[in-house]
Amino acid sequence: MVEKKSNPEITVIIPTRNRLHYLKRAVGSVLCQTFTNFKVCVYDNASSDATKSTVHEIMKKDNRVYYHCHEQNIGAGRNFQYGLMQVDTPFFSFLSDDDFLLPNFLKTTMSGFINNPSALFSAGSVVTMTDKGEILYEPFSLWEKEGLFLPPEGLLETLGEKYPIWTGILFRKEVIDITGGLDVEIVGAADLDFVYRISVKVPFVISKKPVAVCVNHAT
């Protein structure tokens, strides 16, 4: 069994519902990180498949994994928000159950904070692809530079096709107080809204190193 650290630095939030095949890949991509001082919190939105038993089996092998199941479906946005409100570590990230991290995600983004202590989020490049593996785009390839961005320059850089995909972002816990959390009434764009509301107020840092994969489904 892989033992958890007594004081993990990072919480990786994985909301899920009835996507066990993808979920196992997502959780596995966190457990394979080269930076190991983290915990993985799976928030099950009342799945009807074998999510509970499968995650419990993973927990027996690695007790950095935690599991919570809602009694009923509270909606995807509120499930993300619920996970956010449980964060008790200095840093956190969101990982959708159908996306996955590359092994260097946590190491790369933590290095961004070490080199830029004023930053409140640290982002690496995210490759977007179809569920068949076809590469679609990589927003950070459009950025002229990497490093620290201050407001309002940072916000302006994120607009349009250059927006940071939060799959590749590590946040400081302080952003929860700054934003009040997610706006769950924004259907389909609460992630972008969350990043925009942070970047308009505080510095952030980006790296062009690929750190994660975001999957776009045909449906």
What confidence tens digit (pLDDT) does each residue in 108-167 have? Answer: 999 999 999 999 999 999 999 998 889 999 999 999 999 999 999 999 999 989 999 999
CA angle 111, 113, 115 (to 5 degrees): 70
High-pLDDT (> 90) share of the chain, %: 89
Beta pairing partners, 100: 213
Backbone region of residue 16 per phi and psi (left: phi > 0; alpha: psi in -120 to 50; beta: other values): beta
Specify the pLDDT at position 145: 94
pLDDT tens, position by position, 40-80: 999 999 999 999 999 999 999 999 999 999 999 999 999 99
pLDDT tens, position by position, 165-212: 999 999 999 999 999 999 988 877 899 999 999 999 999 999 999 999
Structure tokens at 207: 């790296």
CB neighbours of residue 67 within 10 Å = 18
Length of the chain in residues, anyone? 219
SS3 label, residue 136: strand
Decide if 211 contacts 104 (C-beta within 8 A): yes
The yes-or-no verdict on residue 2 having pLDDT over 80 is: no
Q: Identity (one letter) of the amino acid at 96? A: S
Compute the average pLDDT of residues 14-24: 96
Please report which confidence band the pLDDT of residue 4 belongs to, taking 50, 70 and 90 as the band edges. Answer: low
Specify the pLDDT at position 194: 96
Specify the pLDDT at position 187: 76
